[in-house]
Structure formats: structure tokens, C-alpha cells
């Protein structure tokens, strides 16, 4: 790390101490060219890849899936079955990789943990009064601690969009910092285990502008988020290519300024292999190979995995397996 980077990190770390400093910094970020971002995203979405590269991309995309169920009707049996599928997405093909994580509500974490323990598949839990984020901070932190104590090693929190849109940036910053602390630390907060990784959901469909997406991305990273995530999947507008492009540019610029790498997770509305490959092309072209790993890029999805499996089967066997061949999530 250079002296310049160290100095920049020190300067940025002071921003959270003042509402005025945060506002000045966030509103001083370069504005997003809406037309340019949308054109760039559309252009990258037209790229084609060869068959060999497609097979590699499909396996990578499978490894990047956060296999998700966030329904009021979720049961222990349903989430156990989902966890089993995460471990062996295609029981007929042992060469098929496992997914990146299983994502569930906090109350379902213990049942998923029974299945995933020691497997290498991460256990993610939404928290902080998901999806609205409308609860007192004490309740949000209790939500996080309960999920972590039950076995979650990743927490997907939602920001307070009302506070953000009202310009109360310090309030949002402080809440993210508090959730990060609740995820555990090296002082034994998780009984000697590493701290759970924190994914910060921006709910970009409610942020109205690309400039707000950029500001929220930086705010989440400054407060200690390990990932920035587009959406809860519970509002009409979820992940889009232009929004993800803005977020990728933000993590690229944040690493250049601080030396710290932050992951990105588009979630909601990504249903097909074609969609997933468009995102992978965008990652490669915008931030490079360093982010082409489940450690730094994930898909929040439920139905995507089955389409990836169908396309994978077609490439490996020449036969297109119908949607009924794989279990429904």
C-alpha cells in the first residue's frame, strides 16, 4: 500500500464523524451520466462468448448464486431441501459445483446450518427488519445477533432509505457501523469464529437516481460494508445492468482510494443464463478479473440456478433438460 493510499484511507475514515463532512463528500462525488451509463450497459449486454467460455461462465455463475428463499410460507423442511440443493445442484452430475450461499430469514438459519456445516457453502441471513428496514435500531441489532449466533456467516442488511433520501447520511452510516459490529469481531463476538460478512442492501429501485446509487454505495463502503447489494427483491424494480454498472464503478474507485476491495451483489429479476452472462461480462469489463470470484460477486436469485443447470446439461450432454428435471426452489 502506498503512502498516498494510506493517507486517503485515513482521510476517508474521518468522514463518519460529521454529518457535514459526509454530505460534502457524497455530494462531491462525480455525477453519473445517465445516458452514458445506460448505453454502456446495453453495449456490454450484447457481447457474445464462445462455447468453451460459456461453459466456464455457467460454472462460475453457479458458484456465485446466493440460493434464496424469503417467503412467509418458508418451513424447516423447505429450507433444508434448499440447502441440500445448494450442496449438490445436479445430483446426477458430481462435477457440478456448489452454489455460493443459501440465503434465508433468521428464524430458518438453524435448519440450514444443520445441512451446510463444514461444506464451504456460506449461510446468509437477511436481517435489520428486512425488507423495509423500519424498526428501532435495538431490534435490528438483535435480529443480526440472533442470526449470527444461529450460524449465519453472512448478513444481508437493508439501509434506512427514508433517512438516506432525507439526507440524514450520518444516521445511515452509524446504523451500518453498528450492524457491522453486531456481525462479530476478533474479540470473541462469534466465539472465536471470524466475523460474519456484511452485505448492505441499497434497495436501488427506491433511490430514484444513479447519483443516489453512487452515493449510497460509497456510504455503505465507508461504514464498513463487505458487499453492496442492489435490492431486496421485494419492490417492483430490482437489479438492472445500469445500476450494477454504477455500483461496480463505485467499488473500483473505492479500492483505488483506500486499498480495500468490496463485493457486489445484484439481486432480484435475474432469471436466465443469458442474464447472468451479461453481468459477468460487465464485471470483467468494468472492474476486471479480481471480482470474477464468489468472494467478490454474487447473484441473489431463486429461479436462476435451474436455468443455469438446464444450460449446463445442454452443453455437456447435447440434450436440453426441461424445467421439471430439476427441483423447484
Which one of the listed residues 229, 275, 278, 307 is annotated catalytic? 229
What's the chain's Rg over C-alpha atoms?
19
Which one of the listed residues 90, 143, 153, 156 is annotated catalytic? 156
Cβ atoms of 261 and 297 within 8 Å: the answer is: no
Integer Cα distance of 278 and 262 in angstroms: 20
Integer Cα distance of 145 and 51 in angstroms: 45
265 belongs to the catalytic site: yes
Tell me the C-alpha to C-alpha distance, in Å, between residue 205 and each of 199, 223, 238.
17, 21, 6
Cβ partners under 8 Å of residue 257, min gap 6: 5, 8, 9, 12
What residue ranges in 210-265 does DSSP mark as E strands?
227-229, 263-265
Integer Cα distance of 285 and 287 in angstroms: 6
Cβ atoms of 275 and 304 within 8 Å: the answer is: yes
Which one of the listed residues 265, 275, 278, 307 is annotated catalytic? 265
156 belongs to the catalytic site: yes
Sign of CA dihedral 121, 152, 265, 65: positive
78 belongs to the catalytic site: no
Catalytic residues, which ones? 156, 229, 265
Amino acid at each position: 500500500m502506498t503512502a498516498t493510499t494510506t493517507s486517503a484511507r485515513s482521510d476517508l475514515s474521518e468522514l463518519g464523524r460529521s454529518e457535514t463532512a459526509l454530505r460534502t463528500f457524497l455530494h462531491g462525488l462525480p455525477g453519473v451520466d445517465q445516458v452514458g451509463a445506460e448505453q454502456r450497459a446495453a453495449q456490454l449486454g450484447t457481447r457474445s462468448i464462445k462455447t468453451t467460455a460459456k461453459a466456464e461462465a455457467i460454472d462460475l455463475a453457479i458458484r456465485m448464486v446466493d440460493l434464496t428463499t424469503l417467503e412467509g410460507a418458508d418451513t424447516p423442511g423447505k429450507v433444508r431441501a434448499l440447502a441440500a440443493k445448494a450442496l449438490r445442484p445436479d445430483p446426477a452430475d458430481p462435477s457440478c459445483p456448489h452454489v455460493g450461499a443459501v440465503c434465508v430469514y433468521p428464524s430458518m438459519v438453524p435448519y440450514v446450518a444443520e445441512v451446510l456445516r463444514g461444506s464451504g457453502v456460506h449461510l446468509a441471513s437477511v436481517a435489520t427488519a428486512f425488507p423495509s428496514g423500519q424498526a428501532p435500531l435495538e431490534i435490528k441489532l438483535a435480529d443480526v445477533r440472533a442470526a449470527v449466533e444461529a450460524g449465519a456467516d453472512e448478513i444481508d442488511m437493508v439501509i434506512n432509505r427514508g433517512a438516506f433520501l432525507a439526507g440524514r447520511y450520518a444516521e445511515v452510516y452509524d446504523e451500518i457501523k453498528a450492524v457491522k459490529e453486531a456481525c462479530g469481531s476478533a474479540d470473541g463476538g462469534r466465539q472465536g469464529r471470524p466475523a460474519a460478512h456484511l452485505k448492505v442492501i441499497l434497495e436501488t429501485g427506491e433511490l430514484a437516481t444513479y447519483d443516489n446509487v453512487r452515493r449510497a454505495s460509497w456510504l455503505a463502503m465507508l461504514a464498513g460494508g463487505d458487499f453492496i447489494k442492489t435490492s431486496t427483491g421485494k419492490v417492483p424494480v430490482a437489479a438492472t445492468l445500469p445500476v450494477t454498472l454504477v455500483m461496480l464503478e463505485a467499488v473500483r474507485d473505492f479500492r483505488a482510494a483506500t486499498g480495500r476491495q468490496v463485493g457486489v451483489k445484484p439481486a432480484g429479476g435475474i432469471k436466465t443464463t443469458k442474464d447472468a452472462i451479461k453481468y459477468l461480462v460487465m464485471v470483467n469489463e468494468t472492474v476486471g478479473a479480481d471480482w470474477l470470484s464468489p468472494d467478490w460477486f454474487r447473484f441473489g436469485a431463486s429461479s436462476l440456478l435451474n436455468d443455469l443447470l438446464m444450460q449446463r446439461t445442454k452443453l455437456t450432454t447435447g440434450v436440453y433438460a426441461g424445467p421439471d428435471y430439476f427441483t423447484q426452489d
